[in-house]
């Protein structure tokens, strides 16, 4: 097996005295793990940072063998790791990707979306410029893995106007009138996820609450639930800046 591709660094684990197992998201070959000789060295630690883009070369004699992996830096986001909120966003999005995706299954839309979120974190002058994109990325992961929400019409009436809630059981949208008697038991549906207006912090936090419910219920269960701690750290930092 030989794969040569650009990829996004999503996770790194120490392996042996000096090596590391890196998990990278590739455009055409999905999430791929490989052993990086000297991956914990002074030279390679700055390369194998979450969110960096690298040129990756995977080589293995069989498909069952953990490939040897060599990496060259293409684009560094190391500077963002010194900014608490940006670092928390990168840690969460890459940890989510590494935990949720099965190995070696292509998800080109997720690769493009993750690259877009990370680019927004890098370019936006304020966190509100990327936080809405992060919520949409979480929704896309749910959809790509078979747990997508149906926000197209009210589950009770079929109407497409005045959608205000989401059922925490079915993941379907609910309109204002149909949902009013059960509002305390429903999840708020922020307008920006329906393409109505720009996202404010209230809507972004509602969006994170919405996606967080389904991520923790459907995807990040058992041993994978540990990565939710990174999400909580990110949300705590967002709450600090929004008061």
- For the segment 176-223, what is each residue's pLDDT rounded down to a tens digit? 999 999 999 999 999 999 999 889 999 999 999 999 999 999 999 998
Question: How confident is the model over 10-31, as a mean pLDDT?
Answer: 94
Structure tokens at 40: 């914990």
More confident residue, 64 or 28: 28
Q: What is the pLDDT of residue 120?
A: 96
- Cβ pair 189, 164 in contact under 8 A: yes
Q: What is the pLDDT of residue 64?
A: 79
Which stretches of 60-177 are assigned E, i.e. beta strand? 68-75, 163-166, 173-175
- Cβ pair 230, 212 in contact under 8 A: no
* Global confidence as pTM: 0.94
Q: What is the DSSP string of 114-140?
A: HHHHHHHHHH-SSTHHHHHHHHHHHHH
Structure tokens at 224: 């994978």
Question: How confident is the model over 119-123, as a mean pLDDT?
Answer: 95
Q: What is the pLDDT of residue 65?
A: 87
Q: What is the pLDDT of residue 235?
A: 96
């Amino acid at each position: 097996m030989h794969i040569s591709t650009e990829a996004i660094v999503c996770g790194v684990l120490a392996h042996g005295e000096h090596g590391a197992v890196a998990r990278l998201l590739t455009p055409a070959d999905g999430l791929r793990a490989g052993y990086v000789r000297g991956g914990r060295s002074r030279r390679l630690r700055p390369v194998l940072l979450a969110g960096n883009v690298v040129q990756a070369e995977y080589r293995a004699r069989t498909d069952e063998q953990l490939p040897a992996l060599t990496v060259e830096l293409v684009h560094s986001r190391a500077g963002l790791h010194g900014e608490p909120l940006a670092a928390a966003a990168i840690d969460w999005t890459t940890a989510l990707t590494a935990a949720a995706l099965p190995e070696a299954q292509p998800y080109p839309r997720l690769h493009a979306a993750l690259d877009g979120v990370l680019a927004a974190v890098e370019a936006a002058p304020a966190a509100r410029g990327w936080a809405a994109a992060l919520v949409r990325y979480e929704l896309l992961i749910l959809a790509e893995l078979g747990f997508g929400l149906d926000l197209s019409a009210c589950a009770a009436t079929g109407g497409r106007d005045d959608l205000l809630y989401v059922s925490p059981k079915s993941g379907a949208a609910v309109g204002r009138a149909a949902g009013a008697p059960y509002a305390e038991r429903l999840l708020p549906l922020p307008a920006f996820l329906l393409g109505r207006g720009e996202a404010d912090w209230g809507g972004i936090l509602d969006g994170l609450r919405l996606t967080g419910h389904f991520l923790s219920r459907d995807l990040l269960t058992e041993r994978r639930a540990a990565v939710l701690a990174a999400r909580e750290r990110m949300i705590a930092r967002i709450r600090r800046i929004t008061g």
